[in-house]
Structure 1
Amino acid sequence: MGKAECNICSKELSSWDKRISKVLAYKLPVCEACIAAEYGMGKEELRARMERFFDMRPCQGM
């Protein structure tokens, strides 16, 4: 079984990408960069919003 890829840009997905895709109800997983672009924000702004609204943070290594 291969690694999961973003359904927009084909980048390999991390567990964080999968988590935010799920909480935002994407039918197919999408990477953080593509989600941020769709909402017109940077990755850091998306992370701050995810923390503020859903109390979700990526692991320390990201």
Structure 2
Amino acid sequence: MTNEVQDIDHARRIARQFASEEGVNEARAEAYADVWFDAGKDVDASTESELRAHLRRRFAASQ
């Protein structure tokens, strides 16, 4: 999973898949993905695996 996240729709699709796999709130996952994408991502942290890691951290922090 080292694909570059191409656009906001791609980020949202990844977030929806993550939510389904992890059993978390889909709307919240999409919101986290939106913020991550809109923040411009780090040049070296713009991959699907980085987005998934970001989502894991955000959901862990909200528990």
TM over 0.5: no
Q: Which has the higher contact order (CA 8 A, sep 6+)?
A: 2
Q: Which has the higher helix share?
A: 2
TM-score, normalisation: structure 2: 0.31
Structure of larger gyration radius: 1
